Amino acid sequence: MFRLATFNLESLDDGPDVEPPLAERFAILRPQLLRLRADILCLQEVNAQRAAGRRARRFAALDALLAETPLAAFQRVATTGPSGAGPADAHNLVVLSRFPIERSRQVLHDLVAPPVYRASTADPPALEAPIRWDRPVLGAAIALPGGATLHVLDLHLKAPTAANVAGQKLAPFVWRGVPGWAEGMFLAAVKRAGQAFEARRVVDALFDEDPSALVAVCGDVNAADGELPMRILLADELDTGNGALASRALVPLERSVPESQRFSVVHGGRRQMLDHIVASRALLGWFRDIEIHNEDLADEIAMARSVRSPPESLHAPLVATFADPAA
């Protein structure tokens, strides 16, 4: 039996100018992590810090958070920044595992080329330029007790907020006009759907190698079940129109949770399920239950109005339990 969890830590960072201080976040985040009792943990929004005299950044904030917990001894893989010399400054993906990590890979435009587009509202007028995803996908092959291999994909898709368009903003969050904002929303949708497509290509490559692969896609999809990015990831036979492809479909495990409790974010009073653990059909045979730890989840809009920098994450962690049916 093993437990697989995912948690968006909400820009985990440290430093003299970070608000709130990392020490204040420990009191909330550590109990959440311990409660998961995870054997495998997928994290999103893990920032990296630059140490004095070192060129490459390191996960000092994450190390401090995990200190004196069982997770500190877990094996770890993480995404790297553009140079490849170490993690990016912000929003890295990290996979922690109690079990051996056999191999890992970072995928960013390796399987899907950036689409080329010319912004119609840019000021000055823009030339054609590639639309690149904001973050890579992180894959890890993990050796489970008993000899099976679990393929985990950790991902964090673009948020449904408008991407930048040159000359169309008066301030960081204030748009000059509706056309520029609308084009920014269009670009954000392309990024979100495009990265979901690339993650789906990774999944299909795994099925090409082994049609019965144990695959789990975990993370902050920034989309609910039924929305386009999730439809691309799941590849349900109702969408593909081909029953012969049903074995390649992925299944969101939160569907087993009562709808009234099925949410990982609260936005302006609306409960939304934006974080997911989705499983291949083969892994679904191992599935036992899933928990969404949302009992004390704050409304991100109300929190922004009352607390400048909340110490908690505004995403609920999820944890699913699996057991080998043949054991």
**Each residue of 250-278: pLDDT tens digit?**
999 999 999 999 999 999 999 999 999 99
The partner residues of 247 in beta bridges, in order of sequence, read none
Cis preceding-peptide flag for 258 (omega within 30 of 0): no
pLDDT for residue 52 is more than 80? no
Q: Round to whole Å and give the CA distance between 283 and 197.
A: 21
Residue 116: φ, ψ to 5°: -100, 135
Q: Round to whole Å and give the CA distance between 300 and 118.
A: 34
Task: Give whole-number Cα distances, 257 to 26, 261, 294, in Å.
Answer: 29, 7, 12
Task: Work out the pLDDT band at 53, boundaries 50, 70, 90.
Answer: low
Task: Tell how far CA 157 is from the center of its chain.
Answer: 6
Question: How confident is the model at residue 125, as a pLDDT?
Answer: 93
Q: Whose CA is closest to 64, among 23, 27, 16, 107?
A: 23
Question: How confident is the model at residue 327, as a pLDDT?
Answer: 81
> Looking at the whole model, is its pTM more than 0.75?
yes
Q: Whose CA is closest to 233, among 204, 212, 256?
A: 204
Task: Work out the pLDDT band at 304, boundaries 50, 70, 90.
Answer: confident
**Each residue of 221-258: pLDDT tens digit?**
999 999 999 999 999 999 999 999 999 999 999 999 99
pLDDT for residue 38 is more than 80? yes
CA atoms within 13 A on the CB side of 32: 27
**Mean pLDDT across 23-49:** 96
pLDDT for residue 64 is more than 80? yes
Per-domain boundaries in the chain: 2-322
Question: How big is the chain, counted in residues?
Answer: 327
The partner residues of 175 in beta bridges, in order of sequence, read 169
CATH 1.20.120.80 fits domain 2-322: no
User: Higher confidence at residue 34 or residue 81?
Assistant: 34
